[in-house]
Amino acid sequence: MSATIDPTLLDDLVRRGLIAHSTDSSALREALTSGSVRFYVGFDPTAPSLHMGNLLQLTTARRLQEAGHTPYLLVGGATGMIGDPRDSGERTFNSLDTVKEWSERVRRQVAPFVSLEGSNGATIVNNYDWTASLSTIDFLRDIGKHFPVNRMLQRDVVARRLESGISYTEFSYVLLQSMDFLNLYRDHGVTLQHGATDQWGNITAGVELIRRADAGQAHGFVTPLVTKPDGTKYGKTEGGALWLEAEMTSPYAFHQFWLNVDDSQVGQMLRFFTFLSHDEIEAIEGEMGEKPWLRAGQKRLADEVTTLVHGASETDSAKAAAAALFGGGDLHGLSPDTLAAALRDAGSTSVASLVPVVDLLVETGLVKSKGEARRTISEGGAYLNNVRVEDPDAQPVTSDLIAGSWLVLRRGKKQFAGVEVG
């Protein structure tokens, strides 16, 4: 990738709402317009997959790289052993083998979002490489001496934990992350770090460490937390996480998530997670205002983000599955993997052998009783593989099985469920 500097980068980030806080804005602007800045963003392997919150950092890193700057994507093999302090309770530590496995998963996940080639090609680093061999004495002498305890106690997350208790392990996390910034500054010339809002204290501590230890100048900014309409945050710790790993959140479920974003959030999500221009986004918002029932914003958002994460082929498969399941299309034309993922996400039931449709409607929970099932069929509201069931005594046969093992039952237009046979 060419390192031609785009002087409008910071303005674009601000217009997209991606700058929640930053160090001195004039110094940051000067740095970003005077040459290719080496920057870093970190990802701790605290789960088998990255999630939606991490995706915002990956798209931000890509924006910086496309504007001519040079990414260092840091996998936290060391910091992932400890975990950043959270609002309540100590973290459960994972074994070294688990963290190593998850670190490799993270490394594979982050790589496709940036270019590894060209004059500003990305570098992927692991902080375990420079932390594992560091002695306690060296850590305390070289790093710890620069951190006044009174200032550390003033950090919001620490202050909230003082009454209930916080271990020295989690208390020391900020030192480790700051040391990462110092190490990358010394060895690679990295002068900028970005992250989510909850990383602001860690980032500014790293900027301060570089000033204290090396009399150097560094910069930082944080993006807003992505929250639901009710103000709670998306992420792996709040339940219902949106994972980037297809085995944990299928491309179909991923696409459906974005399709169901609330109207009030679509514009923000388009600015945060897509690379559409401001004019394109404003045109989509205008169309939504005039014809909200078409859900043009959600459709474009789902297509753009799913393609970014999973590729165009998986986006097409997810759309075909939704069209077949909700629109009465040809279910037999879907790939077995996509169909299975869609049905499992929607809710599926396993049966040992083929049984009457009446029983299947009850088994899947689409109706509460056989009597209700028979009424649904007689009223024309029951479907098997998108074909209306007219006989209350109907029973599927082997040739009805899709991909060798699946049946799709639907009640009305929107309620459907999968049945896996065998």
363-421 pLDDT, tens per residue? 888 999 999 989 999 998 888 888 899 988 888 999 888 888 888 888 887 788 889 88
pLDDT tens string 319-369: 988 888 876 677 888 888 888 888 887 778 888 889 899 999 898 889 999
Name the CATH superfamily for 9-223.
HUPs (3.40.50.620)
**In Å, how far are 369, 371, 392, 415 from 358, measured between CA atoms?**
9, 9, 7, 16
Question: Residue 76 burial by CB count (10 A; 0-12/13-18/19+): exposed, middle or buried?
Answer: buried
Ranking 7-16, 98-107, 165-174, 241-250 by mean pLDDT, the lowest is 165-174
pLDDT at 348: 81
CA distance 110 to 96: 21
CA distance 218 to 24: 10
pLDDT at 185 over 80: yes
CB 192 within 8 A of CB 185: no
> Tokens 């590894």 identify what position?
116
Q: To which H or E segment does residue 209 belong? A: helix 200-214
pLDDT tens string 252-276: 999 999 999 999 999 999 999 999 9
- Give mean pLDDT, residues 164-168: 74
CA distance 208 to 178: 9
Contacts of 117 (CB under 8 A, 6+ apart): 1
pLDDT at 85: 59
Q: What fold does the segment set 347-422 form as a domain?
A: 3.10.290
Q: From the centroid of its chain, how far is CA 125?
A: 20
pLDDT at 2 over 70: no
CA distance 253 to 52: 13
pLDDT tier, 26 (very low <50, low <70, confident <90, very high otherwise): very high
pLDDT at 238: 43
pLDDT at 75: 96
- Give mean pLDDT, residues 221-231: 88
- Give mean pLDDT, residues 30-40: 97
3-state SS string over 364-407?
CCCCCCHHHHHHHHHCCCEEECCEECCCCCCCCCHHHCECCCEE
Cα angle at 194 between 108 and 200, to 5 degrees?
125
pLDDT at 282: 97
User: Rounded to a whole number, what is the distance in angstroms from the first to the last CA of the chain?
Assistant: 51
All CATH 3.10.290.10 domain ranges in the chain, comma separated? 347-422
Q: From the centroid of its chain, how far is CA 260?
A: 16
All CATH 3.40.50.620 domain ranges in the chain, comma separated? 9-223
Question: Residue 261 burial by CB count (10 A; 0-12/13-18/19+): exposed, middle or buried?
Answer: buried
Whether pTM > 0.85 for this model: the answer is yes
pLDDT at 295 over 50: yes
In terms of average pLDDT, the best of 166-175, 230-239, 380-389 is 380-389
pLDDT tens string 135-164: 999 989 899 888 878 777 777 777 777 777
- In single-letter form, the type of residue at position 315 comes to T
pLDDT at 328: 67
pLDDT at 87: 54
pLDDT tens string 51-81: 999 999 999 999 999 999 999 999 999 988 8
